[in-house]
Structure 1
Amino acid sequence: MHKSFNPVFTLPLINYLWTAVMVHFLIGCNAAVTNQNVIDTPVEQEIVLETSKVAVGTVILNLDVPWEIVWGPDNWIWFTEQKGSVSRVNPVTGERKKVLKIEMVWHQRTAGLLGMAFSPDIDKWPYVVVDYTCKKDSIILSRLVRYTYSADSLINPFVLLEVPGGTSHNGSRLSFSADGKIFWATGDGLRSKLAQDNKSLCGKILRLNIDGSIPDDNPIKGSAIWASGYRNIQGLVYASNNKLYTSEHGDANDDEVNLIQKGGNYGWPEVTGKADTPQEIAFRQQDAVVEPLKAWTPTIAPAGMDYYHSTAIPEWDNSLILTTLKGSSLRLLKLNEKGDEIVSEHVYLDKEYGRLRDVCVSPAGDIYVSTSNRDWNPSIGFPRAKDDRILRLFKMRAGDKLSPGFKAQKDPGLLSELKKPVVQMGKSSYSQYCASCHKSDGNGVLGTFPPLIGAEQVLGDKKQLIDILLNGLSGKIKVKGAVYNQQMPAFHFLSDKEIAELLTYIRSSFGNKASRISATEVTAGRL
């Protein structure tokens, strides 16, 4: 089912309660654990809600890009690390046990070992599915593999399906429905036209039987395609309300959260966000594109997502919990009773722990979040010592206290009500659209994102610079003697004034000293 494992299929209640009592006893006796990653878990933050207080603490440290975290049938947290390891961690003690190392994993940028999901009934279907990037005869593939779950180990790998992959845009989240069907989100592999091509399995949500065969009731007979029109899905959850939700990276604009319909077309690359241009409206009318529940511009890079349905933290019941990478925050998206509309958005942990990659929910209603600060695009100030980590958010009880040196945080309220500081337009636009790649100091990332300091493309021909921002950039460029393979999106959706102020800010910041660019010059560049 969804990532929070259904308690119907966990240990019998009496065993669960007995285990909880023993764990409590051991903690009270300060039982020693000899794993170097194990720490006492202080309450590092206190989030004050309407009637509840939510504590934030660290379960385990020193991880290497934990891409997927899942609550397992053994009541441990299972997680993948991007370079090829599957491990499980005791959420109470922090004890880690490595389960599997997949040698075939090919890791580069966002490619690697990615999604993982347990079957909803481990007794009836004793399987775990994972997907990872690999190379076969120099061809990059995304591979879906089923393992047999046995005595807290994974054995007997069986390849269910392979689709074309890339160094990025592999999608690769996984989820099970209650009836044991596998849902697999694939990216467009940087080939955007494939998302609208039903002869290709890229840029789709695929639905398979647990043996890898195609269900008879899929929308296209003989095809694994369940829905189409995706750029790069990063979150996928089949919720206990029997609805399938996704989060997806946009290009320069319109990150999305979607409610998935059987056979639905979600627009990419013809429509981004809600159809609001003449071309998008015409395409939507012709192809019946499903509009998102929510879209964000500027983008926040939404990542892993789970559904929260628990009275443990009553204010968050019936909500989607979303991690963000560029946004470096945890977002609470409250749903209406039917689950088909987002009625409010709250933001937590803003910039506190850096990039957040994934989230899962325990049967008790605790929330676990993984950071992603050792990945290919770290934020300034990260990774910190002992990153990456898995955090725990839980309702504070009597006796729980905020540890010295940490702070309480009030619920910020609805996002639309947040007061934003008034800043220079160009600086604000740079922070919203450019800093996640080129960084707030303009230094970029060596070998990945070119620096803006002293770059000839920034300081030279104005027309060329305006053209780059309006139309994007694809291919190899040389900046200050170094070669970068760039896939920069187009920002033509910004107004002429916004583009002029943004480029002027870049040309006059980070030690750069070049003349202003006017809105009139940007207007001429559009012609």
Structure 2
Amino acid sequence: MTRLARSSTVLPALALVLGVTTACSGDGGTPAPIPQVTQPTDQPSEPTPSESPSDSGSTGEDQGGGAEGPRAVGTLVDLLEVPWGVDFLPDGDAVVTERETGRVLEVTPDGTLSRLGAITAAVPQGEAGLLGVAVSPDFDTDSTLFFYVTTGSDNRVMSAVLEDGELGEPTVVLDGIPAGLIHDGGRIAFGPDGFLYVTTGETGDPGLAQDPDSLAGKILRITTDGRPAPGNPDPGSPVWSLGHRNVQGLAWDDQGRLWASEFGDSTWDELNLVEKGGNYGWPEVEGTGGGPDFIDPQLVWPVEQASPSGLAYADGHLWMAGLRGQRLWRIRVSDSGKASRPMAFFTEDYGRLRTVVASPDDQLWLTTSNRDGRGQPTEADDRIIVIQP
């Protein structure tokens, strides 16, 4: 296992308990200070057509727990180069991918950073490159990691065995997913059913999202060998849902419901509750109001407030990371599966936020994406920040 020179040894045990904000850089740089608590702001007054008074109450106050809001514990790792995917190994360490470099990293809960290998097939261009990562649910026996990779010809899902701290030669699981400079999707995650869910974008060609024969603009559901998963709407197709512009966030709530965060075009970003065979309307409709043929999003945001990527479920809420919005959204989910009461935290504190994941110790890991060509990086970027929900 190769130890990287640029790693952070931060978040000592006392800080984790007391919420003391500490951060340091392996090459002597000092990250910007992280506030212990950032006060929440209600979602601005732009309408959210999918939310009704019966769903959200009439008081205008958040009905979920944690009225004081989440707090930043500290920077876990800094000086990363566009971290994109994060998933956890059974021992609590995380696997992290870097979009630009193709590197696959291991990050421990105490901030130790190691290089596991690289996906050399990844071709970074525009929004593409080495994107999502998912740890096999049977990792204890198969030691396998899965990756979403943009090559010179397509997007594809690949797998590789991790043995003795070294990543083996990747093999193709599913290829032929259209690729482009934009809208490549890229989030992959194993569901409670043990199958791999894969988000794809329409690559700037909106019509592909409604084409049932194209893998673009879809959420796919496959087995670990790339075949359509049993129970898919079409037994011969990996497509689980369609009509998506660019989904980059997947999360399951505590009742096993699948949620997806999706980039809108110029008006509305979306949070969708994903149903088997559901058509989410793009490009026929952006936001709500698509009629009986399409499923409306549960919540929408003006694109300047969200441009959502990562999505996680923790502490009874969905948590959605915003790129252009530069904030972390907390969203209440009712027992009946209604999303409401979005509240924004850490607005513009850390710049563009790409990925949020729930860690095994009930915290959130939040990655910045300020070196992706669209942000304003500090000397410490990009970072992984630990959040106490």
TM-score range with shorter-chain normalisation? 0.7 to 0.9
Task: Tell me the residue number matched to 1:91.
Answer: 109
How far did 1:35 drift? 4.9
How far did 1:157 drift? 1.8
SS at match of 2:226: coil
Contact in 1 for aligned 2:30/2:380 (Cα 8 Å): no
Pairwise CA RMSD: 2.5
| 1:352 and 2:352 matched | no
How far did 1:216 drift? 3.2
Length-normalised TM-score, structure 2 = 0.82
- Aligned pairs for 1:408-427 within 5 A: none
SS at match of 1:63: coil
Instruction: Give, as a single letter, the amino acid of the residue that structure 2 aligns with 1:87.
Output: L
Instruction: Count how many residue pairs are aligned between Structure 1 and Structure 2.
Output: 342
Task: Tell me the residue number matched to 1:320.
Answer: 318
- Aligned pairs for 1:56-455 within 5 A: 56-83=73-100, 84-92=102-110, 94-135=111-152, 140-162=153-175, 163-275=177-289, 280=290, 284-285=291-292, 288-299=293-304, 300-308=306-314, 317-338=315-336, 340-378=337-375, 382-394=376-388
In structure 2, do the counterparts of structure 1 residues 385 and 296 end up closer, same or farther at CA, with 3 Å as the change threshold? same
In structure 2, do the counterparts of structure 1 residues 366 and 255 end up closer, same or farther at CA, with 3 Å as the change threshold? same
Larger Rg: 1
How far did 1:120 drift? 2.4
In structure 2, do the counterparts of structure 1 residues 116 and 152 end up closer, same or farther at CA, with 3 Å as the change threshold? same
Distance (Å, rounded) in 2 between the aligned partners of 1:354 and 1:229: 30
1:172-221 deviation digits (Å, cap 9, x = unpaired): 10010123201001100111101101011110111111121222321012
Which 4+ stretches in 1 moved above 3 angstroms? 33-44, 47-53
Task: Tell me the residue number matched to 1:420.
Answer: none
Contact in 2 for aligned 1:235/1:246 (Cα 8 Å): yes
In structure 2, do the counterparts of structure 1 residues 255 and 121 end up closer, same or farther at CA, with 3 Å as the change threshold? same
Contact in 1 for aligned 2:119/2:170 (Cα 8 Å): no
Contact in 1 for aligned 2:303/2:325 (Cα 8 Å): no
In the alignment, structure 2 segments of 5+ residues that lack a partner are 1-11, 18-23, 40-65
Distance (Å, rounded) in 1 between the aligned partners of 2:71 and 2:273: 28
1:419-459 deviation digits (Å, cap 9, x = unpaired): xxxxxxxxxxxxxxxxxxxxxxxxxxxxxxxxxxxxxxxxx
How far did 1:51 drift? 6.2
Distance (Å, rounded) in 2 between the aligned partners of 1:236 and 1:37: 36
Bigger proportion of residues as helix: 1
SS at match of 1:194: helix
In structure 2, do the counterparts of structure 1 residues 200 and 351 end up closer, same or farther at CA, with 3 Å as the change threshold? same
Instruction: Return the match for 2:36 from 23, 26, 45.
Output: 45
Contact in 1 for aligned 2:99/2:130 (Cα 8 Å): yes
- Aligned pairs for 1:502-513 within 5 A: none
Distance (Å, rounded) in 2 between the aligned partners of 1:227 and 1:62: 37
In the alignment, structure 1 segments of 5+ residues that lack a partner are 1-22, 309-316, 396-527
SS at match of 2:209: helix
Contact in 2 for aligned 1:37/1:61 (Cα 8 Å): no
In structure 2, do the counterparts of structure 1 residues 357 and 51 end up closer, same or farther at CA, with 3 Å as the change threshold? closer
SS at match of 2:283: coil
Q: Which has the higher contact order (CA 8 A, sep 6+)?
A: 2
